Amino acid sequence: MKKLATKVMCAAMILVMAAGLMTGCSTSKDLKTQNGNKVLFTYDKQDVTLKEAWIYAKMTASQYENYYSSYFGSDFWMTPVSTDEEGNQITFEENVKEQIISQIKQIIVLNSKAEEYKITLTDDEKKECTEYAKAFAKSAEGSAILKECGASEEDMAQIYEKNKIASKVQEAAVADVDKEVSDEEARETSIARIVYPTTTTGEDGKTVDMDDKAKADVLKTAKAALKKIKDGTALEDVAKEAEYNNTTETFAAGASEEGEAFEKKLAEMKDGDLMDEVMECDNGYVVARLTAYTDREATDKKKEDIIHERQHEAFYKLYEEWTKDLESEWSYKEDVDQELWKEVVLHSEESTATTADTETTGATEEAPEEATTGAAEQATEATTEAKN
């Protein structure tokens, strides 16, 4: 449940491509189902038809295809990613389809709270939604989706309005979250350094510590490098001579690759200072310069991330309260018409179910945000193109 609610912050206002809006039958030759107007499930007294969920599915599938096919091939949809309570394998496609239902439920809940938060759309916001819908309908992919599902440009305008309302409800719901974050809490420190490793890789691929003589030779090299930098040679040039390319590092407190003692030493220095001696750290002998103890840009970005996480947590708690009773009576397997839902197929005809032995990718925990964000960007790009 927490993972579902956490996704709301990034995805609830993005993947809002259907919410009980399309009615009537289509005569389009591209229509793929005759059951579009049948109720797929009901949540919070709101009926959701098959074609509404179909639009969600096709929008999501398009983004997953773009993101995953290049990594895992065209049959990634059939890859097992988990098992159910009975031990049966759940494919990537099945997992995503369940997530899609969850997304639709989120939109229903968010829109149901509009009156409570006194949320309405301005004329400009409605106009923007209309423009998004027009651009979507004009795009090749958008046009195909609408024809396939029997939906129209007007339907999409209403869909985008639902999207905008959901966004505003969520914003209002977390408006009181504390946005004060200190530099101490968010500090990101930047350094330039050269690491002279004191380990090697054994024949079995495991890391092996050097013997004392080898380590002494490494220390001698590091000290020579430090002297050269003190004499005026740029640290980056010395790094090139040592064939060390990763000279920059930015890290939060406790996250430096060089370890705790190294960080304590940096806290005693001023921005721009070069460490006065070679330091033995977790990953070898290190020559380092403190670029910025508090990297302003990185620290400010970290503050935004902290606020965002606070909002996630606040919304998660609130969402749990909103849906506690609803979820106590909800079952994906029982409350969704599974026979009807089978009509929606995400994998291509070329995909097969022969990947039973494929290892779980673990990607499904993160993919929805990326995929749904892609959908939003695609719609925005289509709008821009239409205006031009």
Domain that holds residue 66: 2-178+303-387
Question: Which residues of the chain register pLDDT less than 50?
Answer: 1-28, 351-388
Look at the chain and report how many structural domains it folds into.
2
Whether residues 249 and 321 share a domain: the answer is no
- Of 246, 262, 293, which residue is a domain's last? 293
Decide: pTM greater than 0.75: no
What is the model's pLDDT at position 252?
95
Whether residues 88 and 23 share a domain: the answer is yes
Whether residues 26 and 152 share a domain: the answer is yes
- Of 259, 293, 327, which residue is a domain's last? 293
Whether residues 102 and 81 share a domain: the answer is yes
Whether residues 111 and 64 share a domain: the answer is yes
Whether residues 119 and 261 share a domain: the answer is no
Whether residues 35 and 162 share a domain: the answer is yes
Q: Please give, one letter per residue, the 3-state secondary structure of the chain.
A: CHHHHHHHHHHHCCCCCCCCCCCCCCCCCCCCCCCCCCEEEEECCEEEEHHHHHHHHHHHHHHHHHHHHHHHCCCHHHCEEEECCCCCEEEHHHHHHHHHHHHHHHHHHHHHCCCCCCCCCCHHHHHHHHHHHHHHHHCHHHHHHHHHHCCCHHHHHHHHHHHHHHHHHHHHHCCCCCCCCCHHHHCEEEEEEEEECCEEECCCCCEEECCHHHHHHHHHHHHHHHHHHHCCCCHHHHHHHCCCCCCEEEEECCCCCCCHHHHHHHHCCCCCCECCCCEEECCEEEEEEEEECCCHHHHHHHHHHHHHHHHHHHHHHHHHHHHHHHHHCCCHHHHCCHHHHCCCCCCCCCCCCCCCCCCCCCHHHCHHHHHHHHHHHHHHHHHHHHHC
Whether residues 170 and 313 share a domain: the answer is yes
Whether residues 51 and 118 share a domain: the answer is yes
Whether residues 238 and 340 share a domain: the answer is no
- Of 293, 318, 338, which residue is a domain's last? 293
Whether residues 193 and 221 share a domain: the answer is yes
Whether residues 16 and 144 share a domain: the answer is yes
What is the model's pLDDT at position 29?
56
